[in-house]
Structure 1
């Protein structure tokens, strides 16, 4: 039987092979065989080496090799690894990898229909039929339309003398009020989500257009040597390797593109320095501009006070 040092060297070679498209699937298959043969009796340090190479598979799938065949190989590895690994944090990560692989393979097998293929593919806008489906109405507009309909129904009821018509109108108003009540919770949630208890708005996701234009760089031997051997993506904590694709924020910090997008959707700030990207939310951007102006006024007032103090000294 091979010594643990020999297995560790093989894992390091496989780690490199995972970056080569023509050898990726063979490397994954070899990792599964090694897991089956050596993981149950492996030392804690060797188990960490196994987990590291499994994480590398996940990173390569998310950043480079996205074809269905590669994802199928990765899914097989992740599911097999789950039957062996026992550490809670490692199992959580693998469960997330399994879920992502299944989701991606499902999307490939069941692509969503294009707008042109749907029966209600467009809507009339300024005299022209659009290609995309009509976007959902904002909740405030839904509420306004329901209130208008309720008012109109009550007005008709007042002018009507027929008991039958009054009965139909009462039923209509009841239905409108029920719909109004159903939408009310959504509107309140929107208000609560926009402002916290301190009056500071919740930061919306980063602008999709801005994120799409962020530069993508490829890690080379020279770049890796400059960054250091153990440099990581600050989001997934995976060590960087040669040929990794990294997306660069204006603050010059870089992250794996598949890691960065969901992070910016939820937090919209650099995980390292908290640099904030522009959003598509005009209300939030207006608030931010007002805060900036108010901060400048506060600084100006503070400087004026300090200047006055110096005059009286």
Structure 2
């Protein structure tokens, strides 16, 4: 049986392959095999990595693919992982993933014929999920942000000690660090949100304002060709990591970093305990 370090390296490599449509299904099958053969004897850190990779599969399915074959492979992985995990939060999350996969497969089987009106919605939707090596459709950035936030929140909940009294600002700092580690852009994400929350008055020693007021203070800009040229074609939203495209609506923080409004709002609503309205 392979040792923990080699399995971790293998899982990390497979996680990278998930972003390529032609290697997604093969990678999911390999992840499932690793879990089946190694989970029971794995170290806690390796078990956690397995769960993180499985959660990544769920996120990619929900934001990129519609092909029934890919979702069926994902569903099989979720079912195997749910069978072996012991943490209640992880088990609950995986059951949620299984339910989503089942619903998607049911909807695909029972979907009506494509109408002329649906064709007019754009070619991006029509080729999404097809077994092709063409360019993948744009990800739904609000889903990416939501799922990333959900996964971080679930793990934070599972590791939180009993009876701890943590302030919203302390919780934000911890979650920012975790989210930044997941997104691969620790410096930009921490500096952007932490500095900006201070500047708009949502920080230590201050009472958070209502979310409507917070959002209203953040300007929304439309990405133009001039903005793309000045920022660079590979500029990303620091939460969902989706590259900016022409006509994107972006919220500009005081530190001049740009975020999709649906990506930023979960921080204001969930982790600073603001209202959703």
Per the shorter chain, which TM-score range?
A: 0.3 to 0.5
Larger radius of gyration: 1
TM-score normalised by structure 2 residue count: 0.48
More relative contact order in 1 or in 2 (CA 8 Å, sep 6+)? 2
